Structure 1
Amino acid sequence: MHAWPASEVPALPGKGRDLQIHDTATQGTITLAPGPVARIYVCGITPYDATHIGHAATYNAFDLVQRVWLDTKRQVHYVQNVTDVDDPLLERALRDNQDWTELAERETALFREDMTALRMLPPQHYIGAVEAIPGIVPLVERLRDAGAAYELEGDTYFSVEADPHFGGVSHLDAEAMRLLSAERGGDPDRPGKKNPLDPMLWMAALPGEPSWDGGSLGRGRPGWHIECVAIALDHLGMGFDIQGGGSDLAFPHHEMGASHAQALTGEFPMAKAYVHAGMVALHGEKMSKSKGNLVFVSALRRAGVDPAAIRLALLSHHYRADWEWTDAVLDEAVARLERWRAAVSRPDGIPADALVEEVREALANDLDAPAALAAVDRWVERQIATDGDDESAPGLVSRTVDALLGVAL
């Protein structure tokens, strides 16, 4: 599976700062100082309805991570998956009387278009669950053979007790885990499981549903968590720098994935930091496919909204915050974009060297994009109010906003 084209990231004078970021697992801020190549895995979409503003907010957060690392003169090895076979996708295809593969391909193509328009830097490896199946099957067999997995009526489950670190990502108690498991694709009430929280590794083939050769596991398809583990271990190995996604992935997805990987390798941790973006609401409720209260990036683009304004709307909220999408949020972003473009369109301006460092400092401080926007706003206000004589300043501001915030002026 291919990703989308990369926009050029301008080089800035000097060098950026190491990233301090909130780690869900340690429940505090840590400083990440990767080697020459920083490694990040971000969980991708299930392509049956893409791309809503909640998706865009999450991928915007991890795009900022990439930009901060690139500004430190590191390379970035970014991996993202596509869950192109799963119950929600199959259910939507059945509801709409569509072929599930055509639905997945169409929505993935739309996602690529939206990411390109929003200037999100693409992953080096963009991997679908289906294409990862040949690598998933051996991992499930290894877990089973090591006693970390078991069979139940043809299905294969992971035993959470196989990982002594289980629970160390989300820090939830057993009852909270059970409730979220039931809500987010698990089956805690299934009779015969060793532990209600044990997640599915391999689902035996069902009539009328797609299935693949699972070797000694029999025909079937993979569980959700082992998919990401197989892709991450294949392309990044253990101990990569960031495992990222929305806050609703902390449990069960990232918790279970960490345990799968740690049981497979005997190493800890799977990722140095577990980073989670907040949820976006609409009309007082979390934006979600199940509720249907979605604002689609493609619909905004078709309505003539500049993608740069959409991105500024996302940047106006801290990535870890839960917030609500409103017309006012977008209107403010459109007005800000107009002010910024007017300011940098002048032939000269007030010096901007200090602004570059302000934006760097804000983003290195747990991706504080609102503080970065405020710094640019202050420069723009002075630029409009003052006759400057620095011919290089407008261009430097444009490059800074493009390189670090992903907004083309």
Structure 2
Amino acid sequence: MEEPQAWVPSDPRSRPSHDQVVAGLKGIDEGGPELVQLLTPEGERTTDHRFDAYSADVGAEELKALYRDMVLVRRADREGNALQRQGELGIWVPLLGQEAAQVGSGRALRSQDMAFPSYREHGVAWCRGIDPTELLGIFRGTDHGAWDSAATGFHPYTIVIGNQCLNATGYAMGQRFESKVGDPDTGEATICYFGDGATSQGDVHEGFVWAAAYDAPLVFFCQNNQWAISVPLSRQTRVPLYQRARGYGFPGVRVDGNDVLACLAVTRWALEECRTGNGPVLIEAFTYRMDSHTTSDDATRYRLADEVELWKLKDPIERVRVHLVRSLGVSQDFFDGVEAESEALAVRLREYCRAMPSPGPERMFSEVYAEPSPQVEAQREEYLAYHASFDGEA
């Protein structure tokens, strides 16, 4: 009997059969032969002798918790997208499709570690104990991030592409200089998040150079979602991104970014390397951005619907759900409970956003310096007087 042929999406109106879907999933080269994968798109558990030990403690309850994380993070993301469309937010940066990369790596962090995000790491923020409501001010234009970075181990969002790599490198060098590296249990490490497009920025490469030269305990975590806004990965590099680490003298690993278990295990390994003095490390999470770059972007103008449809078959949440049901016998009651929790989160986010007060014009001057500055005070008084001159005008 002949093996079923994988579906070739030449006609967008066609739909693959079940056998074609399975054949296509098994035939897809997801990131190359060196890709680390512990949970296949079909929801089957696999082994990898390099990283199995770093996921050995993940049983049914732990996997259910990771599933819950991803579902709630996705629901918060979808609500943020909807709020922007309704005029409640100025912009939103979606993470749809990247939940496994962010939750897996975020849950690998310890309390003493520090994370430096770009502007899309809503899932990592969730793992660091930051409520999604605390993200809304950034996109509503009322603050730059309301959380305590020192207490949460989560730096404010960085809007300038790649700049967080320099900040993270400096912080990690400080950990090295202050002798906070060496002990596998109490040692500290830093992780820095950026996208494939940022790898074309000089700041990223400068971070690589300095981190390598000073053996900084830093995990560079690149979420390769295939598109730097409208520029495909093929225009960014001739070699897989993880292989770039070799040029700087430190290891690079490519992991299935839609596999939360693999992302957890590989990041645990990389952080342990850094805590014990063997950093830095580059992780390339091979994933896909299912939505537009931001709500100001229209991805349908530069990529094909067929490509998106193929990546839907690798959905990071669905593969965990399938594994929980088929392999671990998790009942529907659990999934219904998570779904109800996600809806309640969406309602809370929506109500919070619509009730957010609009700060007065003096707010832009109040958080500039830790101590009063005569120059800023003078500018503040001048501006407020100018602003008040318009009171009562039509």
TM-score of the superposition, structure 2-length normalised? 0.29
TM-score of the superposition, structure 1-length normalised? 0.28
